A and B are shown apart, each in its own frame.
Chain A
């Protein structure tokens, strides 16, 4: 049997011929961290063993050991079992499964690879998240004889959740389906259908047989219909976009360096962006401003330091800086707050207890913190949000965390280093959770609120000025948000106010949630995301209506304060009023002729605010109306009074 031409053997020749040249090239290699996920039977260990074997990185004594074990313990008696190359701990080897994250190393001509090998078994969300946290790319294995399974969806979801943007879907065991193109195409189609919801930026499919080496290192001759690259070729050449997040400077201070009275430096690893001597920086959370004077390293002072370099900075002023503080560029600073919205992966054997004190480690800081609100739990198989009162091991939920003191942070999608945290149990010291911080206010995972308009667009103003419209109509346009639970009287009161305004010679219009859902938002459901998107559309509409000079009365539930806040920002703070309608839930049920509350209580309506999902009371409404003690007429009068006081009706 002739030796296959592999990157390994190319390298081997170079090593023999010119070691200095090889070392020079090796020095220039970059690191690619790759997650592998698949279930026990997908052939994942075999694939990794194959990659190591075919790139000639298994040492002969290791291979001899594997051959010895293949005879005694291998899953395919007699054959060389490549899976044994990577399986590690004694117990696992005996059971024939991998039970933890294992790291494997190999290098090819261009890159050094760190493979985080994670198991695909049901309860190991924890390990997958751990492995994924440092990876740039993921290989998702699918058994061609099984197709896309629930666990495939789970793996893809977790990889995306942890910020992996490059996915390689390896459809393995093609030898068992006679290398059939149609089978591959069908699996690919299934995968693409569900992955479209997850916004994968870079998605690749490879038909493969890890056992026989098809399309692993070399392109397979068994599948001439496949024109793409082999796995190794793709790993070597795929373009890895740098960071993808912010490029503003941030450095969490790990340690204050004071070797003697003459030197005071701040050591840490640059988390994002770059810094040069002379750059202005702010110290967070204090907000003090100063300037970087030197970038000190043992190899001499540097002209510039960028992520992820480990450096020591000196500052121009004697400002107070301690471990856990962040040095940041004054432009686009991290947010500083004691309240954090995040997606939390629970890793503790004991379920997460809302309200309980935990230790939160974020950046170089440890603070006490508790989960104030568990908004919902994400079903990792269907990706649907479900109501939840706790998070058990391997469950993922969206939470609001309140910390003992304000900390500087970014959204995870902007910066992995300053947007992530771990949760530690105070008694056992075990790491029980891992969190990814969400953009402030943006609760939804696929929020359109943050989307940039597509194309080069410029806004045009109106030919008629706002002042002219205001004079004609005798009013200053404003949007009133009537918020409250279902049946709290939002639409009825809005309509009563509309009538009064009209009777006074003003012009107003009502938009309400149900009408919206019959038309503009007929594509939306009732998940937190969809509710948020419905409100975004309403807010954009309200803005248009206000721009036209009209008063806009909006009747929407809007269960989340953060979403109300975003609506306010869209419409304009100076022309947005929040009216909160309250009534005890018993009263709301009494008013509910269509039986919505009962249906929600039976679990038939998921995410029904007040019953199966949370309704946050507005933090600072402009007006609160108790709809039990006040009738519709009284409520409308009070709103009119509010409008008059605000100077909106002249």
Chain B
């Protein structure tokens, strides 16, 4: 078997194990390429049956419009049980990427919203698309990451994981975040998307898009909610995105890669790690670590 086939089998094994052992699992769907691969693997795991769990998308209301359109179409075409959760209180309080710093905004509209949704539906297991190669502190993340009643991650209470024997025993109120893509690398994900011909949001491919340059990052003007500085005019540039999230917080990179192989080629040659385009990570060297403890992936 090739490494991609082995990774696929390993992930399907994990997904099935969770479906068999937990009462109320959910797949956290961010619409990005990793969740898209995760969803594809879940379809494979249960074929010819349907997914035995819903999808949850935490919508900050600031996602790229193309992402939302893609999400709704995929859910419709596959007959998925999609739950969209928004922190409506945050929306009412006008918590936006432009009114708060990225850290506070992310905490309120993503982390708090996610935790509220998990509580509301009583999910005991939540699949995420995180990989260990994304960031140094994730190298130690387990496939099953146990969270306490307050959704907190404690690096000292994580369970040893041997062979493919995952321990999903939890007490009431606790939950497990499950990362079936733990052993995948960025190139594995791209290669799999290519090999399996998986549809992804077109924002990953280069196209002419209206952008403005802010603090060294190219921000796409996705709708008219984006406040422009006096004299600031969006310009059409050939750009693509390495990661997708809230458009005001997602830095584009200039690129001519219009096809997947070209994207992979650029990625391999650029030698910039993936999270650099994600503005929320720039606070401190261990910001991921901090966010994980707070309950965000």
Q: Which residues of A contact B (CB under 8 A)?
A: 12, 15-16, 19-20, 22-23, 26-31, 56, 59-62, 65, 69, 86-90, 100-105, 107, 111-112, 114, 117, 126-127, 129-130, 133-134, 254-255, 257-259, 263, 265, 267-269, 296-299, 308-310, 312, 323, 347, 359, 361-362, 364, 366, 416-417, 420-422, 424, 429-431, 434
Contacts and interface: CB of A to CB of B under 8 A. Distances in A.
Identify the interface centre among A105, A111, A259, A366: most chain B CB within 10 Å of its CB. A105
Interface in B208-264: 261-262, 264
Given A19-B265, A23-B261, A29-B3, A105 B20 contact: no
Nearest to B6: A31
Contact of A114 (B49, B183, B272): B183
Contacts of A267: 16, 45-46
A254 B20 contact: yes
Identify the interface centre among A65, A310, A347, A434: most chain B CB within 10 Å of its CB. A310
11 contacts: A27-B191, A30-B1, A56-B271, A88-B139, A105-B132, A112-B3, A129-B160, A130-B161, A310-B45, A429-B167, A429-B170
A12 B161 CA distance: 35
Given A130-B160, A424-B169, A105 B191 contact: no
B92 interface: no
B20 A298 contact: no
B17 interface: yes
| 10 nearest A-B residue pairs (beta carbon) | A259-B49, A59-B273, A310-B12, A298-B47, A133-B162, A19-B265, A429-B169, A102-B139, A130-B160, A310-B9
Given A60-B271, A88-B140, A65 B285 contact: yes
Contacts, number: 187
Given A103-B139, A298-B43, A310-B16, 15 more contacts: A15-B269, A16-B265, A100-B155, A102-B140, A103-B140, A103-B183, A134-B162, A134-B164, A259-B49, A267-B45, A269-B13, A309-B9, A420-B163, A424-B167, A429-B171
Nearest to A259: B49
Contacts of A100: 140, 155
Contacts of A89: 137, 140, 155, 289
Contacts of A12: 268-269
B198 interface: no
B273 A61 contact: yes
Categorize the interface residue count of chain B: 35 or more
A164 B285 CA distance: 36
Contact of B162 (A15, A30, A129, A310): A129
B50 interface: yes
A26 B194 CA distance: 12
Interface in B128-181: 132-133, 136-140, 155, 157, 159-165, 167, 169-171
B63 interface: no
Nearest to B131: A105
A416 B165 CA distance: 11
Contacts of B264: 19, 23
Contacts of B16: 254-255, 267-268, 310
